Each structure stands twice: as structure tokens, then as C-alpha cells.
Amino acid sequence: MRDDILLLFPPCDSPHRPGAALPQLAGHLRGRGLPLRALDVNAAFFKAFFTEEKVEEGWAKGADRLESLTGRPSLPFSAMMEYLGLVKAALVLERGGKDLLARALDGGADLPGPLRSVLFESLSKFIWADAYPESLWNVGEGLFFEGGSPYSTKAILDGARSPGLFGDFFASCVEAHMASDRPRLVALSVTYGGQVIPAFRLAREIKARFPDLFVVMGGAFVSLHLARTEKGDLFRWIDAMAVGDGEKTLESLYLRLGDGGDLSAVEGLVFFREGAVHRVPPASPTPLRTVRPDWSEFPERDYYRDSGGDFTGFRLSRGCSWAKCAFCRTEEAFISHRDRGGSALFARLRPLVASGRRSFAFGDDEADPDLLEAFARWLLDEGIEIGWSVNARIGPGLSMELCRLLRRAGCRRLILGVESLDDGLLGLMRKGTTEALVERTLSNAAWAGLPLGVYMIVGFPTEGEETAWKSFGRIAALRSEGLVDSVFYSAFQLAPGSDVALHPERYGVEAILYPRDADLNPPAVDFESPGMSRQRAFSLSQEFSARLREQALAEGGAPSSLLLAGRKISLPFPPRLVGERIRSYAPPHLDFFSFLERGDESAPPLDRP
């Protein structure tokens, strides 16, 4: 027994870099003299499954499954999704060729992260063909788990009981890293909803092997959703949750477990005792000036090389300088608490650069123009040459001069929330922007040679289809003109704590319906308001994404058969027609399982032509 803290980051996230929370937690705890280990289970997962052997096995499984689907007289919605996923995956891999596939599997081979993740998503359709509907989906350079709802206690517990697509991976992981070196405390960091069910599967394996080992789960998604539970059910395989910044909570918890102290003295701890959930108020946010991330246990060799991306996470600031958007949880501490760095914080990059790190993904919620200018000038004055990306806000401060300065200082991507290109809608969203300001800002960045990623929303209350198509047409034109590098569309969800949720009458929102069994502070996807229906919003989101990513199959451009695992498989259901049917009936949803279930309820089956 090592009597230390074991930090775990569960799947699924990017295969190209560690989650930002682990190095930050590791640095704080080590700085306080606590014994610690860290394991990026997410990175280990990708290395375990994306191998030549697994791919070879996958071809046959995928071919078997596709032949089964093609033999049906009709396809319900869920089967259409599976069919189209297999067909598109086969086409992507065929067009990429064997050499590109080999490079993708080689972790040391330089390849753009988004390209490798598209290839991995395609490979996953075959590797886990027998695990459908659990699957992986690609967004940018990340890969995320699709399964049951992370907002439902029942769905989480049901999902945790089944190995699903992970098989015995978690059991072998526990055996390899804990059997001979049992820690005092295991901490799982859960940032995204797609990590929730995998995290509980991992916790279940830990408890099966070590029933009395203390397991705590924390992270952004835990704070916002899981820790709001009023039931004891979620504590079946974990002992507690940590709310807010985890540094002080983990430090205090480790010491309390050592001396048998009272858990109610641990700030930010949520636990179940004597039939009730107990919540200890969280500590104040950790000041940026005290944060010293430690990447020593996250060597770049454990990850896949991203030739155009950024490896090392860091923060220049926290919170949002605007904090007024109607769709945002503006009262939450991670948005409302503003903390900006300066030259002392910037200087912490020096030892990282000296150690050979040259790529940085700054995890700011919104780095304001003054901060960006100060940082860029510091880099140039210090002669530090790095590549970096950061989130920012559209505003008059993002001038052409500043964009040029950022580019000279190594910025290779600025990520902006555009949301809409309609003045009326931008005003209702309380974005503080206008169409003219958006286009001027995008033009400034383009003329400066600064690549941009932008986020768009479709289906905000009162938005009609005509307005949505107008915004889409303009953003698509801006992309074709080179003013935008990448676009990410999402259908509007009513976030708990947002102004729309707190004051729905201001936006004409009524009849809000929450998903069945969704008891963990979920967003709402079903409500009534002026403008397009919820179903149409989700349908258009898929349509716009498909067009922008050139995933829609053109008329006559799809094959009538595929060669897969040495078999010629006819495709009686035209892929283009299947894609159109899916987009036409795409239902409002919070998770993949409910997407399929509601699609089966609303969409008529597609008959064989």
C-alpha cells in the first residue's frame, strides 16, 4: 500500500493531450507535499483499442453487421443511424487509404488532430460494431462517448452495470495500477457528460476490487449536475463528490482520511450518510497566481501527435468579462468569478518551454483583448516562440492590429462564440454584438492570417427558419471566403441557471418539459416558444453541420456497394436518402440513446426501394 492519492481521468476526450484538470491538481497537491500518482485512463484507452489487431478484428464485425442491416426490408430510425454510420465510416477509410490509416494508428506520426479523430471515429464503428448503440463521436480533434443520459441517475447506474464498449479494459486497468500499490484515496476528474458513465464503470471496478477504498469524483460536470442529487443512489460506487475547484478539497480529504477526521470539515465535499445527502460549502476559487501545473506524469509519448494542435493546457484567466449572455450559466463561479493573470503568471511558461514544450491550449473561458495584448507582447519581448490557441469574445477590442500582434506572437487559433448573424437575435441573446461587429472582427482576423473557429446556435427562442438559414448562408460564405477556418453548430438547449431558464417569459418560452428520469439538473430541449419547433432546430443543426463539414452525400455520388473485409456488400438503402431521412426527423435529445429512442417513435421506417 502506497498510501497516496491516485488521480484518474476517465475516457473519453481528446487522444492528443491530457485533460487540463489533472496537471493542475497534481501540481497543487505535490506543491503541498502530498504523495501522488496520476493516470490518464483516457490516453490508455485509445492506445489499448486503436491497434492493428483491433482494426483487423473490426473489419469482419462491421461487415457482419452491415450485411445484417442490408438484409432487412426496412430500417427504423435507430437502424438508419447504424447503417449510415457504417457506410460513411467505410467510405472515409477507403478514401483515406492504407498509408493514412497506418499513420493515424502510429501515435508518433504527425497528423492533424481533427483528421486523426475523424479516422478514429470511423474505425470505432467497426471495432465496436457489436457494442452499438454505444459508440464514439468526433468533434474537432476530440472523441467522445455516446450512450445513456449523464443527467439521469437511473441511466448512469444502468450504464455502469454493463461493460459496454469498454469490455474488461477498466478491470485490467485497476489490476495493473492498483493491485500492488493501493492508494489511500482515488479521485476521478469528470469534465464532460460523455465521461460520466465510463467514470462510474471505472469506479465500480475499483470498488469490486477494493470495497473499502475511498473514491471521490469531481470536475465541472459533477459540480453542475451530479452533485445536485438528492438521492443516495449515485454513492453506490463512489464515497463522495467534490464541488468547485478540487485542489483544497482533495488536500483536506486526504488528511482527514489519514487521521480519521470528520468529513463535514472538508470544504466542497458532498457525501451520503444516515439516509441523507450532506453538502459542505465549497472553498473559494483557487487564485491563478497559486496554480502551478505539473505535467511530469503526462509525457507527450503517451498521446497521439497533433501536427497542427496544442498539447499543454494552461490558463491565462478564469471567468468571463461579459457574463451577460442569456443562454449561459452566468451565476456559476466558473463564469462569474473573474481572475486575470499577468507577467508573473506568464513567466511560469518559461520552464515548460525550456523542457521542450512548444504547443499550448489555453483553457480560458474568455481571454479579453487587454490580456491577449499583454501576453502577446510579453512573448515577443521575452523571445519565447510557442504555438497557442485560446477562447476569446467578439468585440471592438479585437482590432486588426491586435490580431496581427497575436499572430506574430504564435497564436494559431482564436475560438469565438458568434452564435448568430442576425441583429434581432443577437440583441435577445444579450451578446453585446451586432452583425457588423461580427463580420468586422472576422475580417480583422482573416487579414491578419489568424485562423478562427466559431460556435453557432440554431433554434434560440423566437428564431424562425428564415433567420436560421440567413445566418447559415452568411457563415458558410465567410468560411468559403477564408474568413473562418471551422464552424461548430449546436441546437439551443435551455441551460439551468441561465437567464432564459430563470425568466422564460422574457423570451416567450413556456411549457418546458424535462426528459424522463432526468433528475440531475439537466438542460431542457423540449419547450414551446415563438419561432421554429424544437424538432426543427435539431434537424437544422444536423443539416448545417453536414453541409459545412461536407458530410452530406451529393445526388448520385454514393456507391451502390462496398468492399469490406473481402466481401462485396450491396447497399439497397441509398446513403444519401438515409441521411436526409435522419436529418428530417432528428428529435430533440440530450444523449444518444434518447436520440435513437425518440427517433424510432417519430420517424417512419425507411423501406427498401
Task: Return the pLDDT at 49.
Answer: 96
The percentage of the chain sitting over the pLDDT mark of 90, rounded to a whole number, equals 74
Q: How far apart are CA 464 and CA 43, in angstroms?
A: 42
Output the pLDDT for position 547.
Answer: 86
- Looking at this protein, which amino acid is placed at residue 309? G
105 near 55, Cβ under 8 Å? yes
| Residue ranges of the chain that CATH labels 3.40.50.2300 | 5-42+150-279
Name the band, by pLDDT with cuts 50, 70 and 90, for residue 557. low
Q: Residue 358: pLDDT band by 50, 70, 90 thresholds?
A: confident
DSSP state of 332: S
* 337 pLDDT tier (thresholds 50, 70, 90): low
Low-confidence winner among 35-39, 81-85, 235-239, 310-314 (lowest mean pLDDT): 310-314
Tens digit of each residue's pLDDT (9 = 90 or more) over 386-426? 999 999 999 999 999 999 999 999 999 999 999 999 999 99
Element (H, E) at 174: helix 169-178
Predicted confidence (pLDDT) at residue 134 exceeds the cutoff of 70: yes
Q: Where in the chain is the domain with CATH 3.20.20.70?
A: 310-489
Query: Are the C-beta atoms of 398 and 392 separated by less than 8 Å?
Result: yes
Least confident residue range of 121-125, 218-222, 292-296, 566-570: 292-296
The pLDDT value recorded for residue 529 is 95
The predicted structure's pLDDT at residue 334: 57
480: pLDDT confidence band, cut at 50, 70 and 90?
Answer: confident
Residue 505 carries which DSSP code? G
Residue 20 grid cell? 487540463
Q: Which three-class secondary structure state does DSSP give residue 307?
A: coil
71 burial level (CB within 10 Å; 0-12, 13-18, 19+):
exposed
- 155 in Cβ contact with 134 (< 8 Å): no
Phi then psi dihedrals of residue 163, to 5 deg: -70, -25
Q: For residue 461, is the peptide bond before it cis, meaning its omega torsion is within 30 degrees of 0?
A: no
Give the C-alpha separation, 475 to 492, whole Å: 17
Contact 366, 455 (CB under 8 A): no
Q: What are the tens digits of pLDDT across the range 444-465?
A: 999 999 999 999 999 999 999 9
Please name the residue that has the C-alpha cell 468526433: 138
Q: Please, what is the average pLDDT of the chain?
A: 92
Mean pLDDT of 327-333: 80
- pLDDT for the residue numbered 552: 34
Over range 157-183, report the average pLDDT: 93
Q: What angle do CA 477, 481, 483 make, to 5 degrees?
A: 95
Given this model, what pLDDT does residue 307 score?
77
DSSP calls for 232-262: SGGGGS-SEEE-S-HHHHHHHHHHHHHHT--
Model confidence at 556: pLDDT above 60: no
How far CA 268 is from CA of 114, 252, 293, in Å, comes to 36, 10, 21
Report the pLDDT averaged over residues 76-86.
97
| 313 pLDDT higher than 90 | no
Q: Looking at the predicted structure, is the pLDDT value of residue 333 above 60?
A: no
The CATH code for residues 5-42+150-279 is: 3.40.50.2300
Looking at per-residue pLDDT, the higher value among 212 and 546 belongs to 212
Report pLDDT digits (tens) over 268-287. 999 999 999 999 999 888 88
> Which CATH architecture group holds 310-489?
Alpha-Beta Barrel (3.20)
Q: Are 519 and 229 in contact (CB under 8 A)?
A: yes
Sign of torsion, CA 536 538 541 542?
Answer: negative
pLDDT tier at 597, thresholds 50, 70, 90: very high
